[in-house]
Amino acid sequence: MSIMVPSKTPALITPGRQALDSALYQLDQAAEHLGLDDGLRTVLATPRRSLTVSVPVRREDGRLSVVQGFRVQHNVSRGPAKGGIRFHPGTDIHEVTALAMWMTWKCALVGIPYGGAKGGVAVDPTGLTTRELERLTRRYVNEILPLIGPEKDIPAPDVGTDEQTMAWIMDTYSVSAGYSVPGVVTGKPTTLGGSLGRSGATSRGVQIATLAALGRSPEGATVAVQGFGKVGALAAQYLADAGCKVVAVSDITGAVYASAGLDIAGLRTWAAETGGVSGYRHADALPLDDLLELDVDVLVPAALEGAITEANAPRVRARLIVEGANGPTTPEADEILAANGATVVPDILANAGGVIVSYLEWVQNMQAYSWSSGEVEVKLRDLMESAFSEVKSMAAARGLTLRQAAHVIGVGRVAEAHQMRGLYP
C-alpha cells in the first residue's frame, strides 16, 4: 500500500515559510525588472551560510531544556553580514532566512557597506528567568561563534532581545577572544560602546519615513500602531511628538483606543509597569485585529510578519501604511492595498533607521570614538531622507510601487557588487 503525502501539508507551511515565500517573490519581481540572469537570481535567492544549532539550557529547577537556534548570512558581497537576533517561540530557519534576505536589500538600499544576516532562537523569553536567559544567550552565542565577529557578522537586537542581550553577547565573544570587542554587536548599552540614539533609531526612522510620505501636515493626522515593543512604542511617541494623533496601539496583551488621541508617554509607563497596554485606564479596549482596520490616516504595523494578508487587506482603511516591522504585508495583500489606492512604505526603507544607527555604532567602535546624539541624528536623517527620495523617484519614473522600487534599488546594488567582484574560482 502506498502512502500519499501531499507536497505541502498545512502543518509545514509555517509563518516563517510564508515570510520566505514573500521575500523570494519580491526578489523575483525585482530580478525580472532588472533583467538578471537565472544564475545570478539563484545566487541572490540562496543564503551564503546557514547554521542551525541546539542550545541546551539549565533551568532554575535543575531540568535541562534544549532549544533550536539559527544564524543565517544571506549575502556578504558588499561587506560584513549584519542583522538582529530574535528570541521568539515561532521562529524557524525559513523566517530567519527571509529576515536575513531583507537585511541584504535594506543595507544596499540605504547605502551602508553591509550584507544581510539574521539570527533566532525558538524560545519564549518571557517564560525564562533572567539567569536562564543569560545562560541561553551565552550558549547560543558560543554555538554561532565561528560565524560572528566585527569584521564578519555583527548581531543586533530584534524581537524578544534588547540591550542586555547584546551586552551578554559582547561579553561572551570578548571572553573567548581574550580582550574586549565592542564592535561584535550593536544596540549595546552606551556604557559598553553603544551609540547614542541607537535605542530609538528604528522608530525615529519610521517617523522620518511617515512624515516624508504623508504629503500633508502631521498635525492631527490619525495613526494606529500595531506592536508596542522597542519599535512600536517609540514610533508612536515620535509621531505624537510630531503632532500626529495616535488613536490606537496594540501589543500581544490587547489593543487600546482613544478617539481624542492616546497619552503615549502615560501608556509607555503603564505598559512598562504592567507588562502590556491592556487595561490602560484612559482608553477603550479594542479587539486585537480590529486595530488594523481602523479608519485612520496612517497604519504602522510594528509587530511581526504576516499581519496584513489577503483576508484583512480589503478592510484596511488607512491610506498610508508604514512598515515598522519586517514583512508585515504579504504579496497578496500588497496587491489589494495598491488596487485600493493605499501607499505602503516598505519595511526595507521604513525601518532602516535601526541598521543605519547600528552601522554608525560599529563605525564608532572600530575607531574607538563616539559621536554626540545630535551628530548621530543628522547622519540618520540624511541617509533615511536620501533613500526615501531615491525610492520615490524610481517608483514615479518606472511606474512601480514604493516596495518594488526599493527592491529594484537594493537588489540591483547587490547584483552589481556580484558582477564587479566576479566568481571565485
Query: What is the pattern of x (binds ligand NAD, CB under 6 A) and - over residues 234-263?
Result: ----------------xxx-----------
Question: Which residue reads 504585508 in cell numbers?
Answer: 329
Q: Is 325 in the site for ligand NAD (CB under 6 A)?
A: yes
Angle at 407 between CA 404 and CA 410, to 5 degrees: 155
Residue whose C-beta lies closest to ligand NAD: 229
The stretch among 13-21, 36-44, 226-234, 363-371 that binds ligand NAD (CB under 6 A) is 226-234
Task: CB nearer to ligand NAD: give 150 or 155.
Answer: 155
The answer to whether residues 71 and 97 touch, using CB atoms and an 8 Å cutoff, is: no
Report how far Cα 161 is from the mean position of its chain's Cα atoms. 12
Instruction: Give every CB contact of residue 125 below 8 A, 6+ residues apart in sequence.
Output: 87, 133, 160, 161
Helix 15-34 with 402-421: angle, nearest 10 deg: 70
Q: Is 304 in the site for ligand NAD (CB under 6 A)?
A: yes
Strand order of the β-sheet with 153-157 is 49-58, 64-75, 115-121, 81-87, 153-157
Out of 69, 116, 120, 160, the only residue in the binding site for ligand NAD (CB under 6 A) is 160
Task: CB nearer to ligand NAD: give 313 or 415.
Answer: 313
Angle at 327 between CA 232 and CA 211, to 5 degrees: 50
Instruction: Give every CB contact of residue 158 below 8 A, 6+ residues apart in sequence.
Output: 83, 84, 85, 86, 99, 118, 120
The CA–CA distances, whole Å, from 27 to 75, 164, 402 equal 13, 34, 14
CA distance 65 to 59: 7
Task: CB nearer to ligand NAD: give 164 or 180.
Answer: 164
Sign of the CA dihedral 186, 191, 197, 203?
A: positive
Burial 351-371 (b: 16+ CB within 10 A, else e): bbbbbbbbbbbbbbbeeeeeb
The answer to whether residues 24 and 102 touch, using CB atoms and an 8 Å cutoff, is: no
What is the DSSP code (8-state) at residue 295?
-
Angle at 266 between CA 214 and CA 358, to 5 degrees: 60
CA distance 86 to 96: 9
Task: CB nearer to ligand NAD: give 31 or 116.
Answer: 116
Q: Is 102 in the site for ligand NAD (CB under 6 A)?
A: no
Out of 158, 171, 293, 377, the only residue in the binding site for ligand NAD (CB under 6 A) is 158
Task: CB nearer to ligand NAD: give 47 or 232.
Answer: 232
CA distance 148 to 126: 26
Smallest distance from ligand NAD to CB 179, Å:
27
Q: Is 228 in the site for ligand NAD (CB under 6 A)?
A: yes
Q: What is the 3-state secondary structure (H, E, C) of 182-236?
A: HHHCCCCCHHHCCCCCCCCHHHHHHHHHHHHHHCCCCCCCEEEEECCCHHHHHHH
CA distance 368 to 84: 22
Task: CB nearer to ligand NAD: give 54 or 274.
Answer: 274
Out of 34, 288, 363, 417, the only residue in the binding site for ligand NAD (CB under 6 A) is 288
Smallest distance from ligand NAD to CB 156, Å:
7
Q: State the catalytic residue, choosing from 106, 118, 188, 230.
A: 118
Task: CB nearer to ligand NAD: give 31 or 99.
Answer: 99
Out of 83, 115, 116, 229, the only residue in the binding site for ligand NAD (CB under 6 A) is 229
Smallest distance from ligand NAD to CB 85, Å:
10
Q: Is 43 in the site for ligand NAD (CB under 6 A)?
A: no
Q: Is 324 in the site for ligand NAD (CB under 6 A)?
A: yes
Q: Is 230 in the site for ligand NAD (CB under 6 A)?
A: yes
Smallest distance from ligand NAD to CB 304, Å:
5
Smallest distance from ligand NAD to CB 390, Å:
19
Smallest distance from ligand NAD to CB 159, Å:
4
Task: CB nearer to ligand NAD: give 289 or 416.
Answer: 289
Query: What is the pattern of x (binds ligand NAD, CB under 6 A) and - over residues 347-386?
Result: ----x--x--------------------------------
Number of residues located near ligand NAD, criterion CB under 6 A: 24
Smallest distance from ligand NAD to CB 273, Å:
15
Q: Is 157 in the site for ligand NAD (CB under 6 A)?
A: yes
379 catalytic? Reply is no
Binding interface with ligand NAD (CB under 6 A): 157-160, 202, 226-232, 250-252, 288, 302-304, 324-326, 351, 354
What residues are annotated to the active site? Answer: 118
